[in-house]
Amino acid sequence: MNNMKAYRVSYSILLGLAVGDALGVPVEFMSRETLRQNPVKGMQGFGTHSQPAGTWSDDTALSLCLAENIANGFNIHALADSFVKWKKTGYWSAHGQVFDIGNTTAKAISKLEMGCDPGLAGGSTANENGNGSLMRIAPLAPYLLYMGETERYKIIQQVSSLTHAHIRSVTACIIYVEFLRLIILGFDQYKAWSFICTAMPIKLKQWGVPDDELNHFSRLFNSDLTQIPEDEIQSDGYVVHTLEASFWCLFTTYGYDATVLKAVNLGSDTDTTAAVTGAIAGMVYSGEEIPPQWRESLARKKDILRLINRMELKLCD
């Protein structure tokens, strides 16, 4: 990957994610009906978490930990350490402290803090399939770009399993990263999605995902997303719902701003739905399409841009 492409990809994914996250933070947990009556139209502050405009949450913080880890030379133990540092000290948080953390993520990082092996820390039961690993997995896409399929899946599983080790969460992360990877390789969103829907069920089954788990993704693979009404799209914290909602927003809207605002205004887990949507929308439409006033309002924007520069250099090695 040349320098210009590496920078554009890193910029589009990380800024796309962070802006989506920040748009959703002030209205997290608000109902869809409330947001229909008073929709989010731009960057705003305070609200749910009483944070200033441009503040992003755990979604972005842990994604930046991963991006930094990639820039330093990917190492799962160092990544685990940075997650612990984030939880304890606010490392890579927007304003120096953690104000939003999911139960499964908190439990897993506490295990890591006590010395648990990174491969054993993540929640592994069916009721621990929140979106806490999907929300932070996007930076892997450019890093894994030219690796073989088995190696890609293995690394995605490692990174997800720091907090979410159940095969359903891992599968959601694989689908998401593989879509991003195809966009980076030059597929348009429709060809990339066609490949995901036709090839991924076979590849995942060959990799060892059982049929009863693949069934949880059947609507995603087999439905025309554009024909699913909004009332049938759920935007809670369940990983499959977040994945569905994000791709639904992408394929029923045009442009970065409209896509992420649609994600935010679905309500409930607004920051994560918009962060996950924001990374793919940033990549599909380019980070330069993110409204300048949204980019400029981001907390720690200069730090994020410096990290993007470091990630660019690593991707060009």
Q: What is the residue extent of each domain of the chain?
A: 3-315
Radius of gyration over alpha carbons of the chain, in Å? 18
Q: Say if CB 94 and CB 300 are below 8 A apart.
A: yes
DSSP count for the chain of H helices, then E strands? 16, 0
Give the integer Cα–Cα distance in Å for 17 and 29. Answer: 19
Q: How far, in Å, CA of 181 to CA of 233, rounded?
A: 25
Contacts 24+ apart (CB under 8 A), 258-265: 259/285, 260/16, 260/19, 260/20, 260/23, 261/23, 261/39, 261/40, 261/41, 263/20, 263/24, 263/235, 264/20, 264/23, 264/24, 264/27, 264/35, 264/40, 265/32, 265/35, 265/36, 265/39, 265/40
The closest alpha carbon to 249, from 267, 237, 238, 175, belongs to 267
pLDDT for the residue 20: 99
Backbone φ and ψ of 178, nearest 5°:
-65, -35
User: For position 1, what pLDDT does the model report?
Assistant: 80
What pLDDT does 287 receive? 95
Per-residue pLDDT of the chain in tens (317 residues, 90 and over written 9): 888 899 999 999 999 999 999 999 999 999 999 999 999 999 999 999 999 999 999 999 999 999 999 999 999 999 999 999 999 999 999 999 999 999 999 999 999 999 999 999 999 999 999 999 999 999 999 999 999 999 999 999 999 999 999 999 999 999 999 999 999 999 999 999 999 999 999 999 999 999 999 999 999 999 999 999 999 999 999 999 999 999 999 999 999 999 999 999 999 999 999 999 999 999 999 999 999 999 999 999 999 999 999 999 999 97
One CATH from 3.40.50.720, 1.10.4080.10, 1.10.3720.10, 3.30.750.200 for 3-315: 1.10.4080.10
Residue tagged 């991003």 (tokens) = 180
The sign of the CA dihedral 32, 254, 177, 42 is negative
What pLDDT score was predicted for residue 4? Answer: 84
**CB–CB of 86/98 below 8 Å?**
yes
Task: Decide: 166 and 123 in contact? Cβ < 8 Å.
Answer: yes
Closest listed residue to residue 139, CA positions, set 203, 186, 72, 202: 72
Given this model, what pLDDT does residue 254 score?
97
